Structure 1
Amino acid sequence: MPVWLIPIAYMMASMLLAGVLPRVEHALVPHVDLGISASSALAALSAVASGMMALTGIVFTVAFVMVQFSAVTYSPRFAARFANDPLLFHALGIFFATFSYALTATAWVDREGTGRVPIVSWLVCVVMLVASLLVFAMLIRRLADLQIGNTLRFLGDRGREIIAEGFSSAYDAPPTHPARAPDAPEGPPTQTLRFGGSPRYVERLDIPALAALARRAGGRVVMGCAVGDMVTSGSVLLRVHGGTAQIPEAELLRAIALGLERTFEQDPKYPLRLLVDIAIKALSPAINDPTTAVQALDQIDDLLRRLARQKLDVGRVRDAEGTLRVVFPTPNWEDYLSLAFDEIRMFGITSIQVLRRLRAALVGLEELIIEDERAGPVRRYIAHIDAAIEGSSLDELDRGSARREDPQGLGLSR
């Protein structure tokens, strides 16, 4: 259910409850006098109804501050985390429900001049008020997520989840087996699927579905877009090679999830992208906060260490017989290095702290994969960093200090 429907659902349920419960209470529950007069009950319900409107305004203010702060301080792409937070919409829903219930329940106080107070309905309103205050306290507590440490840890955790789940299951692809014979050449495409509509981002690929469709058609699906790409009108989504039958376009489109924003799903590059955004924004002259960039590099370092131990080439999917059925683009090791370090190197070239942490991350990666072919690009990147330091505006003493790797940036030379 879309999150914006949550408050409406709460409000409709509360109005239904407020219309049914007093009737049931009036018919089945004997009148209980707890010493609450009709005027007092009416005043209390009215105060709850009016007070909830003010509290709702405060919640909107808190939500606006959270979204604006995250967009300005961290990244506009990170603001969606708070703008689409289910807790925010559940809080608004409970506030709307309390307001609607209290307002509707006033109609049953002193009904027909009997002076009777629907005590059960009145107590339900009190319980809803307490629940609203508890949810409001939880929402204020959520402001702690705006702290830089919590923000970076959240992005790092999402990246670790994607790496652990995505690469272990190879994007939920069916098991791959060595081909029984060399792969047949692709040849000319027998079917081409193009996108038509307003620009969208590729959020997810249903690889098992594409493999099943390719096998049914006796061909091979070659994706023209990767997860995270924007597709515009006329962009090639995929091509089918060697197919003996046409695949319905509707079935192919169902296997490609498109949306208005990039998402974390199936995209290990996206948490890296957000961490780099935070780092380079911290390095801007307007903010000048290299320590935040170093903290972002801590998370980037961990994600790259995990990626270094994964089989990155998961873009060739075979069926149970070993026949190649789906080919889709995936980033290689150098793509990840470039995404993680290039912009931070460019914007942090005058920060000794950032350069030392950057070099420490690369040296640590080289030690981790020293026997692997991926160590070569890491060594070249270390040489690139040293060359950039040599050509920077730093003096000789500062250049010598910047070439000392330090996991803390400015803490321990090692």
Structure 2
Amino acid sequence: MPVWLIPMIYTVVSLVCATALPRIEYGLALPFDLGISASAALAVLSSIASGMMALTGIVFSIAFVMLQFSAVTYSPRFANRFARDPVLFHALGIFFATFTYSLAAAAWSDRGGSGQVPAVSALVAVALLFVSLMAFGLLMRRLGDLQITNTLRYIGDQGRAIIGQTLATSAQGSAGRGGSRAVEAPSPGAVTQILRHAGPPGYVQRYDIPALIGLAQGAGARIKVECAVGDMMMDGSVMLRVLGGAGTVPETALRKAVRLGSDRTFEQDPKYPIRLLVDIAIKALSPAINDPTTAVQALDQIEDLLRRLARHDLADGRLADAEGVLRVVFPTPDWDDYLALAFDEIRVFGATSVQVMRRLRSALRGLAELVGESDRAEGVQRYLEHVDAAIENSAFDERDRAAARQEDPQGLGLTR
């Protein structure tokens, strides 16, 4: 459900309740008495309604500040976390509900000069006021997530979750949520169908793996997906090709199997959390901010994600049906792609920081120790030599070069 509907639902429900509950009270002549005059009850309800309008304005101001802060300080792509935060919209919904309910309840106080007060409705309005204050407190608490440590941990947690879901499943012999790895890959034949994107640009957010395998199996064909998760699809871009087969695969079903959206998401995309962490690191290394310690903290999370990737068999993008026949092929990043994404930009923009160079070398040494003698060791060693060459060709003097060549998980903590 779109998050913007949440306040609307709260408002509609509160209006229905504010219309029905006082009528029920008057109809049943409930023997409840608050012990206050109708004018006092009217003043209380009017104060609640007017106060909630001011509080709602404050909440909107906080929301805009949160979005601006996260976009400028961290990454524009990370601002979506707050722009779509359900807590924000539930708080707004509670504020709207309190305002509309209190206003409607006030209209029933001393109705027709009767001097009567709808006691239950008035108590509900006061209860909604306390709920609104609690929601406001929770919203203030959510501001604590803007601290850099909490932000980096959140992105790291998202990355760890998607690595565990996607790559661990692939390592067990299935890919995503269906299919198995093909042992043999006979030639599928010529291209029989090409699907191109039609419409506004959109990011590839996920593949529906079971649907793709089922479509390919039903047509006796192989589907070669040309777009990787995270790619931007332009009008006319080739999304996939169907190879071989006895018939035409329904185009509508193929389009549904590749979900597009206006933004990249963490789903099926282990590269995206690394991308966000790198964005935060290089922004911290910009001359306008000059905060290498934040870059070091981002590298802490990046190294942890790479360590988890190093322990998994990365998906090869070749999926078979239950009989072991290769049905779907799609592009996936390899180990060198992850290394380049994680370190290239930080190495370039952090070349003037001894702290960042020391932390980079520490991360690479740790990865080298973890991968041991596997085929990934060559990529780590090659990248370590690249970092050493960058230090050698930097503007550092000899003492700074010697310091930058030391590994230190803290950046500038202690000599190991």
TM-score (norm 1): 0.98
Task: Give the aligned partner of residue 133 of structure 2.
Answer: 133
Q: 1:176 aligns with which of 176, 180, 186?
A: 180
Tell me the residue number matched to 1:195: 197
Partner SS state of residue 376, structure 1: helix
Q: Structure 1: which amino acid aligns with 2:345?
A: E
Aligned mates of 1:36, 1:12 — CA distance in 2 = 29
* Aligned counterparts of 1:313 and 1:55: Cα–Cα separation in 2: 50
State the secondary structure of the residue aligned to 1:212: helix
The residue that corresponds to 1:397 in the other structure is 399
The offset of 1:243, in angstroms, is 1.5
- Tell me if the contact between 2:179 and 2:213 (Cα under 8 Å) persists in the aligned partners: no
User: Distance between the aligned counterparts of 2:342 and 2:404, measured in 1?
Assistant: 19
Contact in 1 for aligned 2:222/2:244 (Cα 8 Å): yes
Q: Is the 8 A contact 1:48 1:129 kept in 2?
A: yes
Give SS of 1:384's match.
Answer: helix
CA contact 2:179–2:209 (8 Å) conserved in 1: no
Instruction: Give the aligned residue type for 2:178.
Output: P
Of 182-191 and 278-287, deviating more is 182-191
Shift of 1:30: 2.5
Give the equivalent residue in structure 1 for 2:230. 228
The whole-number CA distance in structure 2 between the counterparts of 1:133 and 1:166 is 41
User: Residue 396 of structure 2 aligns to a residue in which SS?
Assistant: coil
Contact 2:181 2:318 in 1 (8 A): no
Name the CA distance, whole Å, in 2 between partners of 1:21 and 1:144. 39
Deviates more, 1:312-321 or 1:278-287: 312-321
Q: Letter of the 1:203 partner, please give it.
A: Q
Partner of 1:117: 117
- State how far apart, in whole Å, the 1-side matches of 2:29 and 2:159 are: 56
Distance (whole Å) between structure 2 residues aligned to residue 30 and residue 263 of structure 1: 53
1:35 is displaced (CA, Å) by: 1.6
Superposed, 1:148-297 pairs within 5 Å as: 148-170=148-170, 171-179=175-183, 182-297=184-299
User: 1:2 aligned to 2:20?
Assistant: no
Report the Cα distance in structure 2 between the residues aligned to 1:314 and 1:116, rounded to whole angstroms: 74
Displacement of 1:26 in angstroms is 1.1
For residue 297 of structure 1, give the secondary structure of its aligned residue in structure 2. helix
2:98 corresponding residue in structure 1:
98
Deviation by residue 1:38-57 (Cα, 9 ceiling, x = unmatched)? 00011111111110000000
What is aligned with 1:12?
12
Query: Is 1:174–1:318's contact at 8 Å kept on the other side of the alignment?
Result: no
Alpha-carbon distance in structure 2 between the residues aligned to 1:345 and 1:295? 15
Structure 1: stretches of 5+ with no match in the other structure:
none
The answer to whether the 8 A contact 1:31-1:116 is kept is no
**Amino acid of the residue matched to residue 185 of structure 2?**
D
Amino acid in structure 1 at the alignment position of 2:262: L
Q: Which of 372, 375, 378 is the matching residue for 1:376?
A: 378
Quick check: 1:177–1:321 contact (8 Å CA) kept in 2? Answer: no
Count of residues in correspondence between the two structures: 412
* 2-structure distance, mates of 1:8, 1:154: 29
Offset at residue 412 of structure 1 (A): 1.9
Q: Note the aligned Cα RMSD (angstroms).
A: 1.0
- Match of 1:169, SS state, is helix
State the percentage of identical aligned residues: 65
1:44 maps onto 2:44 in alignment: yes
- 2:328 partner SS: strand
Distance 1:323 1:121, change over 3 A: same
1:334: how far off?
0.2
Q: Distance in 1 between matches of 2:371 and 2:311?
A: 8
Length-normalised TM-score, structure 2: 0.97
The Cα of 1:204 is off from its aligned counterpart by 0.6
Counterpart-to-counterpart distance in 2, 1:403 and 1:187: 53
One-letter code aligned to 1:17: C
Provide, for residues 328-352 of structure 1, a one-character-per-residue CA deviation record: whole Å limited to 9, x for no partner: 0000000000000000000000100
| Maintained 8 Å contact 1:202/1:230 | yes
Counterpart of 1:306? 308
Contact preservation (8 Å) 2:278, 2:346: yes
Unaligned runs of 5+ in 2: none
| Counterpart residue identity of residue 86, structure 1 | P
Deviation at 1:167, TM superposition (A): 1.2
For 1:249 and 1:177, the matched residues in 2 are separated by 25
Whichever residue aligns with residue 291 of structure 1, its letter is: T
